[in-house]
Structure 1
Amino acid sequence: MVKKKVAFYTMGCKLNYAETSTIASKFSNLYYQHVPFKSYADIYVINSCSVTRNAELEFKYIVRSARNKNSQAFIIAVGCYAQLNYKKISSFIGVDLVLGSNEKFKIIDYIDGKLLKKSYPTIISNTETKNAYFPSFSVGERTRSFLKIQDGCDYKCSYCIIPMLRGASRSESIENILKNIRFIFSKGVKEIVLTGINIGDYGKMYGKSSRLYTFFDLIKAIDQIKEKGRIRLSSIEPNLLKNEYIEFFSQSKHFVPHFHIPLQSGSNDILGKMHRRYKRELYQEKIKKIRRFIPDAYIGSDIIVGFPGETHKHFLETYNFLKKLEISSLHVFTYSPRPNTKSIMIQGHVSKKIQWKRNQILRNLSNKKYRFFCESQIHTKKTVLFEKNSKNQEYLYGYTENYLRVKIPLNSYNLLYINTLQDVFLTKRDKDGIMIAKPINKL
């Protein structure tokens, strides 16, 4: 029997990476040969994103890329963009199947000999129900694994379409999460990233309003596991990052000193229009709390520029607030109007030229903050998880516990460091912003 070749491409967030891995596992190695997306394949599965319009444009590019590899390939679209605009996406040349939020996990049910004939029309799945929960995690692809602990969101930020696509907040049980963590570590993975749409809201089960657990219940249970390995958080809302969590993380055996806390704006007026559930004063309090208990923690943030009604004064408020804030870097996004969100009705359109200028100003500020943070870590001891080496590289790369990209000169000896945690001494920062390190221990 000739196996069909199948390839996968993931756009967007870490949660999508976890779900792609689960979808890929449905394609049994008995009947399918898994190949890289850049290779020739019979089936291409694209896990899409819809956070910004740029993500939609990227999707079209990825479809064209797959068709260039094999014009007769069967192309399947899943993910948030597939859920949002399944009628439009089905009209794209080359797309043969669109699966919604629940259907993507039943992908094999839609793949049979008849379906894989190009004469068949595009099949549109039922995309109405979104509140089921499907466990997901990635294993075998990287030195770290993305583990889904929660899905959906009950927040109604005025610019965000994700709650409409992902449904209500719902969570995996603590028992199953611990079981999955132990399984992942047993496969040799050294680091797990906890992912979700709103992980700080963990504990609501299957869309119900009642809460069986709290996020604190979960992280305390995780920290008790005996298996060795690092646990990293994905993004967590500032109003859900309670002070006791920060104090707990400062003493944790497993959780690393790395936070990603979205701010979105440093202006309380704009935060109000965004329907965020905090003011900038609370955000500042959280950063100060982290710096007090975990001085070397990496703190990243998200910012949206050019939101409707954002005046020059509002932008200056954001800039000056961020300039004083002890964070490590920024992910800067330009506001992108999404259908059926409240923000598209807000007056005060910001021109693309001004949006671009504000984006660049904050990116420059982010570069300065990251350089300052890196330099503050020179001459300190850290633990690096070294990654699989690509061909023709002169260095071995990895990340410290506080998320600094590190490299050491590659030789035949330190190839043994791949997928291991090694203590290093940070010596300097190179021109590309990567930390140069010297290993402390020998295998």
Structure 2
Amino acid sequence: MKKVAFYTLGCKLNYSETSSIGRMFEQKGYTKVEFNEKPDIFIINTCSVTENADKKCRKIVREAQKINADGYVAIIGCYAQLKPKEISEIPGVDAVLGAAEKFRLVELIDTFEKTPLGRPAQVIASHIDNAVEYHTSYSLNDRTRTFLKVQDGCDYPCSYCTIPLARGKSRSDTIENIVKAAREIAARDVKEIVLTGVNIGDFGLQNGERKETFLDLVKALDEVEGILRFRISSIEPNLLTDEIIEFVAQSKRFAPHFHIPLQSGSNKVLGLMKRRYKRELYTERVAKIKSLMPDCCIGVDVIVGHPGETRELFEESYNFLNELDISYLHVFTYSERENTAALAIRPIVQKGERAERSKMLHILSEKKKRFFYEQQIGKQAVVLFEDEIQNGQMLGFTENYVRVAVKYDPLLINETKEIVYDHINGEGLMEVTEMEEILVH
């Protein structure tokens, strides 16, 4: 049978879906190989959150052609749903599949024969309203950590975002099916599961009706044997309830780590973004978490340069973040996206100013992370080691997302050890002492 390779751009959700689609190919008899192993078929799963993601898609298509000029190239993902015609005109692309069609890729394109020169690529992309089915997905590329999709789509009309146009309405699988998937993952000796989705706090919508809640899901997964820990990838502050925080604080398996999108520390900018909260709510959420879990890691998404963000409003946002008891930032520079409300907002922030603001927040993030790490020194934690080497050392994460470096030992891969935080090395990683194995049942 033919060889197939995958390349994923974008978020953890995309990685979970790529992995699941890859298993569909293997079940049909295809051989899954690496991208550089001259596959017969290239599947590129795209993102379209920023302008750079679009450019990356074109670059990966060119690289695929260099590796195998006769290879079949199919494009799926958010960019494919938003701009199928544009992608179909990229030289070398043979097929473009939308959000409602990507999980049927292996049946919709049965021959995977190269499109004759001069003929347009095949486009199989229906309107986003047709993306109503839910496909439980999870990644198995890394034995140590798996991304488990629990929710898809979004009903929030944020001014800057194209995700509702690319993925459709919010929808979820049942808790029963997701718990079943978690048990399948546990059976493969995976010790950590990261829950992912577009808006996971909105979990529970099935056929437009709320059947279950994210808190229900968290409680059910906490009982799954064989998983060392679950991690919540990202959850909106207005959906992160006190009940969820309180449950995580006393749970058996959920890690003391929250990633909570803020986007701006200015209420005026939050209003322009059409976010569903004000910064006062965000302050309350952080305070609640820290009161119950003082060593909890809190990550924050921030967008800089959104239309209407004057220098004064940016400084207001910066000062707000500087005062917050958070651990790190994910900084996104605003980029114009077609069919979004932000395009009509003024004033526009010049790109050079956007870059300067981004640099300021990246520096702030490093300071926050360093301070958080320094607060951990002398405390105990459990680290799960991964098959990743940096400067001769192997890396892993503790339950509260501190990245640890130790001398490489192949026997430690996918193993847990109890450690004491010792000091921060020159690369900003935590080095440890008093390692002692913990038996995980």
Q: TM-score, normalised by structure 2?
A: 0.95
What secondary structure is seen at the aligned counterpart in 2 of 1:57? helix
Alpha-carbon distance between aligned partners in 2 of 1:409 and 1:124, rounded to the nearest angstrom:
50
1:425 Cα deviation after fit: 1.6
- What pairs with 1:418-433 in structure 2 (closer than 5 Å)? 418-433=413-428
- 1:217-228 pair list within 5 angstroms: 217-228=216-227
**Residue of structure 1 in register with 2:96 after alignment:** 98
Q: Could you say which residue in structure 1 is the equivalent of 2:3?
A: 5
Aligned to 1:438: 433
SS at match of 1:45: strand
Q: Distance in 1 between matches of 2:83 and 2:246?
A: 43
Partner of 2:34: 36
Shift of residue 38 of structure 1?
A: 3.0
Please tell me whether the aligned partners of residues 41 and 112 of structure 2 are also in contact (alpha carbons under 8 angstroms). Answer: no
> Would the aligned equivalents of 1:131 and 1:166 in 2 still touch at CA under 8 Å?
no
Tell me how far 1:303 sits from its aligned partner: 0.7
Please name the residue that 1:309 is paired with. Answer: 308
Secondary structure (helix, strand or coil) at the match of 1:38 reads coil
Q: Which residue of 1 aligns with 2:273?
A: 274
Query: Within 1, Cα distance between the matches of 2:391 and 2:369?
Result: 25
Deviation at 1:442, TM superposition (A): 4.7
Which residue is equivalent to 1:292? 291
Q: Within the alignment, does 1:60 sit opposite 2:61 as a pair?
A: no
1:34-433 matched pairs, under 5 angstroms: 34-113=32-111, 115-116=113-114, 118-119=116-117, 121-128=120-127, 129-206=130-207, 208=208, 210-389=209-388, 394-410=392-408, 414-433=409-428
Does the CA-based 8 Å contact 2:259-2:298 persist in structure 1? yes
For residue 388 of structure 1, give the secondary structure of its aligned residue in structure 2.
Answer: strand
- Give the SS at the match of 2:132: coil
CA contact (8 A) 2:61 2:93 kept: yes
Provide the alpha-carbon RMSD of the alignment.
1.6
Structure 2 stretches lacking a partner, 5+ long? none
Question: 1:115, CA displacement in angstroms?
Answer: 3.0
Q: In 2, are the aligned partners of 1:72 and 1:118 still within 8 Å (CA)?
A: no
Distance 1:381-1:5 versus aligned 2 partners, 3 A rule? same
Deviation of the 1:284 alpha carbon: 0.7
Seen in structure 2, the aligned counterparts of structure 1 residues 29 and 214 have a Cα distance that, compared at 3 Å, is closer
Q: Give how far 1:252 is off.
A: 0.7
Secondary structure at 1:428's aligned position in 2?
Answer: strand
Decide whether the 8 Å contact of 2:191 with 2:226 is kept in 1. Answer: no
Distance 1:252 1:141 in 2: 25
Deviation at 1:32, TM superposition (A): 2.2
Give CA-to-partner distance per residue, 1:11-67, whole Å, 9 cap, x none: 111110110011101112673221112332111111000011111111111111111
Distance 1:439 1:31, change over 3 A: farther
Please say if residues 151 and 171 of structure 1, whose CA atoms lie closer than 8 Å, have aligned partners that are also in contact: yes
Q: CA deviation at 1:89?
A: 0.5
Give TM-score scaled by structure 1 length: 0.95
Identical-pair percentage: 50
Superimposed CA distance per residue, residues 237-286 of structure 1 (whole angstroms, 9 cap, x where no aligned partner):
00100112111111010100111001000100000000000000000110
1:263 is paired with a residue whose SS is: strand
Secondary structure of the structure 2 residue equivalent to 1:95: coil
Assess, with a 3 A threshold, how the Cα gap between structure 1 residues 114 and 287 changes in structure 2: closer, same or farther: closer
Q: For residue 62 of structure 2, what is the amino acid of its counterpart?
A: R
Which residue of structure 1 lines up, in the alignment, with residue 20 of structure 2? 22
Gaps (5+ residues) in structure 1?
A: none
In 2 relative to 1, CA 225–73 (structure 1 residues): closer, same or farther, beyond 3 Å? same
Q: Check the 8 A contact 2:70/2:114 in 1, yes or no.
A: no
